[in-house]
Structure formats: structure tokens, C-alpha cells
Amino acid sequence: MNGQGPELAINPGLVIQRQPIAGGQDCLVIDDFLADPDAAVAWAAQHTQDFVAPERSYPGRLLPIDEAAARPLHEFVRSRLSREFGFLRGDLDLYTQYSIATLQPADFSWIQALPHSDPQTAPGRANYAALLYLFHDPALGGTGFTIQFGSFADRANAIKLASEIKKTYPAVRIDSELVNYREVFRVRYGQYATREEAQSAGETMARELDERYTVMPVTRAADE
């Protein structure tokens, strides 16, 4: 497979959002990542016969990406992501591959259904994963955007703000999330496919409500 596959060039207009998750850690959500994602999908579709099922527990088939094709990805990790995560300034081993998840959940073996983490490659080293989803079907889910009017440690304060907004926008909601092992209550409205749609709606709502807002990335569930 050496020398095959399109170069995975990075889109200079990509959008990066930092999302806090449990344990005081952050997850970066990057939208519009590749300059030409369709070329990557088309090439993979033409070479499905080269994908192989690994002996380990991945529920599908894999195909390693040629080093030359993956070079822009690796350069992005070493340069841009090192600003976000200090550990990327050290010695790195990078491994990149295409994957096709073909096994249905009902057909998982016990080890595939068991939450786990990969073992360390050496003492003092850590493993990190970055997933790039390449699909066009909104029914499969992905990253969406919502309008957020406030974030509170006290649920009563979130309810108070939501009650005021509900007088004009009845569909306002309160999302509960864990941040540093503590529950945080976020007053939000809507689910939008693009940042621009959420921004436009937020501007209108802010004028009507006299409230500040931010546009936040959220995981869009399948068929939503």
C-alpha cells in the first residue's frame, strides 16, 4: 500500500472548540477538518478489499494510511495541537489508519462490549486517540450547535433563568453535564447543524430577551 491514497491535507478554515469532560480533562471538537474529505472517502471506498479485520477487538476492518498521505495530519498534531495539550511537545509515536465499523452491536464479543483502555506502550507513556468521522448522513449524528444563555453550579439559578426565557421561547431546556466531577447546569435552546445557523438565531433571541449568549458545540444524536 506504500505511496497510495490521497494526501490528507488540512482545511485552513477548520473550527476548533474545547469541551470540558469528566476528570478535569478537555476534548477538542474540530469541524471541517480536511480540505478534501470526499477524496479520502472515495479512495477508501475503492480499496475496501484491502481492509483487514484485526486480531484485536476492533469491531470492523482497518487499513493503515501511508506515511506520506498522513504527513499533514501528523504535522497538525505536532504543531497545532501541541498548543492545546502540553504532552504533545514531547516524544511522540503516531499511527494512523482508515477504519470501517462493520460489526453490529448485537454481534459484539464480550471483549468488544467491555469498556477498556489500551495498555501503555512503555512506563510513563500515555495513549491518546483522535477520531475523524467521514460521513454525510445527518441521521448518523455528529457535531451540532446550540445556543447557551448561562451555566450554573446551582440548579435553582438555572431554573430561574430558564423560566424567564420560557415566557418567550417555551422550548428552552436545561442540560446537565459533569465538569471536574461536579454537576453543572446549562440553560440552552435549539440544535443547529451549523455554527452560522445557531449564531443567527442567537442574535435574534438576544435582542428579544436582552440576554447574553454563546454558541456551543454539542453531540447531535442520530436522527436528530
**Are the C-beta atoms of residues 96 and 65 closer than 8 Å to each other?**
yes
- Provide the pLDDT for residue 224: 47
- Provide the pLDDT for residue 90: 63
Residue listed under C-alpha cell 512503555 = 122
Domains and CATH numbers, the chain: 1-134 (no CATH), 138-220 (3.30.70.1070)
**Ramachandran assignment for 12, one of left (phi > 0), alpha (psi -120 to 50 degrees), beta (any other):** alpha
Other beta carbons less than 10 A from residue 178's beta carbon: 12
Question: Taking the model in full, what pTM does it have?
Answer: 0.58
Q: 83: pLDDT confidence band, cut at 50, 70 and 90?
A: confident
pLDDT tens, position by position, 1-49: 334 678 899 988 887 877 777 667 778 888 788 999 888 888 888 888 8
Q: ∠ at Cα 71 (66, 75), nearest 5°?
A: 155
Q: Stretch 74-97: mean pLDDT, rounded?
A: 78
